[in-house]
Amino acid sequence: MSREAAERRVQALWRRGCEFLGVERALLAGAMSWVSERNLVSAMSNAGGFGVIACGSMAPDQLSAEITATAAMTDRPFGVNLITMHPQIDDLVQVCVDHGVGHVVLAGGIPAGTSIKALKDAGIKVLCFAPAPVLARRLVRSGVDALIIEGAEAGGHIGPVSTSVLAQEILPAVREVPIFVAGGIGRGEAVLSYLEMGAAGCQLGTRLVCATESIAHPNFKRAFIKANARDAVPTVQIDPRFPVIPVRALVNEGTRRFMETQRQVIERYNRGEVDQKAAQLEIEHFWAGALRRGVIDGDVENGSLMAGQSVGMVTREQPVREILDELTAQAIDALVARERNGAP
C-alpha cells in the first residue's frame, strides 16, 4: 500500500466521525477542567480536530463569555461539555442554544430527557458517555446523536472497565450512531485500531495537556513530561462505608494526605465524634479547588494532577497541530508497514 492509499484509507475509516463533527480529522479534545478553555479548544479546531470547552462548574454568564471568546479565535466547529449534575444545567443548555453551538457533550451521569430534547429541538447534536452496553442502547433510544466510550485508563473521574473491553462490548453492538473511543490513547496506531473496530473517531485528553497552546502551568506540564504510565493511579477508597469516586491522577503529596485524611476521619467516626454525613463530606471536600491549584497555580505537590495512563507518551511540549499531524502520520505509517510485512 502506498502512503497515498494509506492516507485515503484513514480518511475513509473516520469519515463518519468527520462528517458528524464537521472536521478534517475525527479527533476530539476531551473536556478537561481549567485546561480545555478558549486557547486549547480553538487550537484543536484550527488544527482540523474538534475542540470542546469544559464548562465544569462555570456559571451561565461565564460559559457564555467562554463560547464568545472561543468563537473569536476560530471559525471552525467546536463543542461544549456540560455536567448533567450542575445545579443550573437548564440555564447552561439555554446558553448553548442562544450561541448556536453545534455540538454539546452531556457528561457526569445519565442526562435528563428534557436536556436532550431542548438541545435537539435547537438543532444541536448531542453526545453522551456510555459506560456499558445497556446504557449505550438506552441513550440511543433517548435520542442522543453520538456516544463516547471512555475506559479506566483515562485521567480524571473513571469507571471500572478498560477502553479495550468497552470497545469490544459496544462497538459491534451499537451501529445506529457514531461512537468515539477514549481512554489511554496516545499514538496513531491505537486510533487506527479503534477505527478498524468500527469507531467513528477518538477522544484525546492527557496527550493534549502539554500542548503549547494549553494554559496549564509549566510545573503541571513538567510533571506530565516526567511521569510514566505507572504514576497515574486511581484514588483509593479505604472503607466501603465512605465511598470515594475513583479519580486517576499522578501520585503526589496530596494523594498521600488524602489517604491519611480518610483514615483520620473514619477513626473519628468510629469514636462517635462525627456522624456519617459529616465524615463523608469531609472526605469529599478534601480535593475542593485542588485541580485549579495544580493546573493554574502550579502546586504539583498539593494540587490534583489528573492524568491518564497515556501520560508516559507525553514527552515534550508541542503545538496542537504537530500532535495531530503526528497521530495521523502514525496511523498511516502503521497501514503502510502492515502491507509491507505481508499482514492482511
Secondary structure in 3-state letters for 242-293: CCCCCEEEECCHHHHHHHHHHHHHHHHHHCCCCCHHHHHHHHHHHHCCHHHH
97 closest CA partner among 73, 66, 114, 121? 121
Which of the four pLDDT bands, split at 50, 70 and 90, describes residue 343? Answer: low
Which of the four pLDDT bands, split at 50, 70 and 90, describes residue 285? Answer: confident
pLDDT in tens, 19-54: 999 999 999 999 999 999 999 999 999 999 999 999
Residue 290 grid coordinates: 485542588
124 closest CA partner among 86, 148, 92, 88? 92
Residue 336 has pLDDT above 70, yes or no: yes
| Domains of the chain (ranges, CATH numbers) | 3-215+315-340 (3.20.20.70), 228-306 (no CATH)
Q: What is the pLDDT of residue 152?
A: 96
Q: Write down the mean pLDDT value for the chain.
A: 95
- Report the Cα–Cα distance between both ends of the chain, in Å, rounded: 11
Q: What does the alpha-carbon distance between residue 259 and residue 263 come to, in Å, rounded to a whole number?
A: 6
Q: Are the C-beta atoms of residues 130 and 162 closer than 8 Å to each other?
A: no
Cα dihedral: 114, 152, 235, 274 (round 10): 40
pTM: 0.94
Which of the four pLDDT bands, split at 50, 70 and 90, describes residue 344? Answer: low
Q: Are the C-beta atoms of residues 169 and 309 closer than 8 Å to each other?
A: no
Please report, as a single letter, which amino acid is at residue 332. I
pLDDT in tens, 242-275: 998 899 999 999 999 999 999 999 999 999 999 9
